[in-house]
Structure 1
Amino acid sequence: MSGAIVSWLRSATKTAFSRKYLLLTNVTISISLSGVGDIIEQHYEIYTKQQTAWDRQRTRNMSISGMTVGVFCHNWYNFMDRRFPGRTLGLVLKKVIIDQTVASPIVIFLFFATLGMLKRSSWDDMCEEMRDKFLRLYTAEWVVWPPAQIVNFYLLPNKYRVLYDNTISLGYDVYTSYVINDDSTKDKDDTNQGDGTGGKNDRGTSQ
């Protein structure tokens, strides 16, 4: 019985990561783990009494944002491996730098844009939220991803890149959920504007 299960799992895994189904697999992984990251963050917020109940709509929105990012990452890795074939150390470092300076800002923008559409935010509101939160997320990207992507580009075949990405990023997805749904900076800014003090964010730049 156990042998049959193992055989079935091997066959299912081979099919899921085949060229025919790889996009669907990558998007499904991204949706699932983006949702899981938000659920973990929300339950932490409930535990620390920052919120009272699980917001299912917020989890749905974060999961759909994961779908957008999953589609991009699938195509991005295909492009990178076609454009820069090989696994020499110099080539890997080049890929990591390009990934951080090009792909990372695009991924963050896609998150904000998708969430903005789901919440029916205006363009101005979305831009304001990006201005408030983009640098926090991008700074975290530089801490997490360069070492992770060295492993990704140097050791793993293309078909496992998004799976690896999402496994590593589960903790980062928790932080992403926290930052994107954190309104404390905006609330502080609104309060400061109300009392005539202007308003600064935690980096000291004007809002």
Structure 2
Amino acid sequence: MAALWRGCGRLLARRPGAAQALTAGALMGAGDVIAQQLVEQRGLRGHHCPRTLKMMAIGFCFVGPVVGSWYRILDWLIPGNTKVVAVKKVILDQDYMDALMTNYCIWPPVQIANFYFVPLQHRLAVVQCVAIVWNCYLSWKANRM
């Protein structure tokens, strides 16, 4: 496990965009697998692989690059890591009204901790780990039959 963590750290240092895209894609895929297997209880034979691949593609192609870039922009706009800086970043991060209303109980506390305690190169991974539950919910909600 330690070797895996060191390898991820090296990849983040050398190619942060690629590492963040891979992380987001893998974790969004994990959220869909959890939705299908634990929430919907489809079983392995009923698992819809194209749906999982679609969620992974969204993470690889959109969430990783866009959110990773957004975090770099936030760090450029509001440098530092004090509590006040973290709150300012959270306020800017909560830019979408529907997301604010839906995620109000989860994301502000997560993002305050993320912007205050977590180094820039690890922020996307932290958010994506928390987002596994959210991605599971979104996948289930979007694919209810």
Length-normalised TM-score, structure 2 = 0.86
- Give the equivalent residue in structure 2 for 1:116: none
Cα offset for 1:170? 1.2
Gapped regions of structure 2 (runs ≥ 5): none
Return the letter of the residue paired with 2:79: P
Q: Which has the higher contact order (CA 8 A, sep 6+)?
A: 2
Change in CA separation of 1:46 and 1:80 when aligned onto 2, cut-off 3 Å: closer
Aligned to 2:10: 15
1:167 and 2:129 are equivalent in the alignment? yes
Aligned with 1:27: secondary structure? helix
Q: Tell me by how many angstroms 1:144 deviates.
A: 1.3
Matched, 1:86 2:80: yes
Q: 1:157 aligns with which of 119, 122, 134?
A: 119
Structure 1 counterpart of 2:47, one-letter code:
W
Match of 2:106 in 1: 144
Find the aligned partners of 2:93 and 2:37 in 1 and give their Cα distance.
Answer: 32
3-state SS in 2 of match to 1:87: coil
Does the CA-based 8 Å contact 1:46-1:53 persist in structure 2? no
Is the contact made by 1:46 and 1:54 (CA closer than 8 Å) also made in structure 2?
A: no
Q: Secondary structure at the match of 1:17?
A: helix
Which residue does 1:55 correspond to in 2?
48
- Pairing of 1:89-168 with structure 2 (within 5 A): 89-102=83-96, 135=98, 139-168=101-130
Instruction: Report the structure number with the largest CA radius of gyration.
Output: 1
Is the Cα contact below 8 Å between 1:39 and 1:59 reproduced in 2? yes
Task: Determine if the alignment matches structure 1 residue 38 to structure 2 residue 40.
Answer: no
Q: Tell me, which stretches of 5 or more residues in structure 1 are unaligned?
A: 106-134, 184-207
| 3-state SS of paired residue (2:52) | helix
CA apart distance, 1:45 = 4.5
Cα RMSD of the aligned pairs, angstroms, is 2.2
Quickly say closer, same or farther: Cα 1:93–1:58, change in 2 above 3 A. same
The residue type equivalent to 1:92 in the other structure is A
SS at match of 2:94: helix
CA distance in 2, matches of 1:11, 1:144: 29
